[in-house]
Amino acid sequence: MSLKPGTKLANGAIVVAFKVAPTDPTDGVVLAIYNSEYVTWRLDPERLDSTWLGHYFLDNFSAAAADFEAR
């Protein structure tokens, strides 16, 4: 499954970008806006309530985007 930008997750966060690990389709990373803050989480794309290992960036989109790419 691919999450499109604008998708609302179970916790209310809005997806900005999403990617899946090439070796494991159940291991994804999402860049989202959550409570007016940029965040990256690990996410199982089949379970939109499965966010974990969050990194939070307040209003720093550049840092959040760089973290998304690195994860």
- Higher local confidence (pLDDT), 2 or 38: 38
Output the CA–CA distances (angstroms, integers) from residue 56 to 25, 47, 63, in the order listed: 24, 21, 9
> What is the distance between the alpha carbons of residues 25 and 50, in angstroms, rounded to a whole number?
14
> How confident is the model over 15-44, as pLDDT tens digits?
999 999 888 888 899 999 999 999 999 999
> What is the distance between the alpha carbons of residues 8 and 31, in angstroms, rounded to a whole number?
12
The mean pLDDT value of the chain amounts to: 93
pLDDT value at position 25? 86
Contact 18, 60 (CB under 8 A): no
Q: Alpha helix (H) ranges present in the chain?
A: 61-70
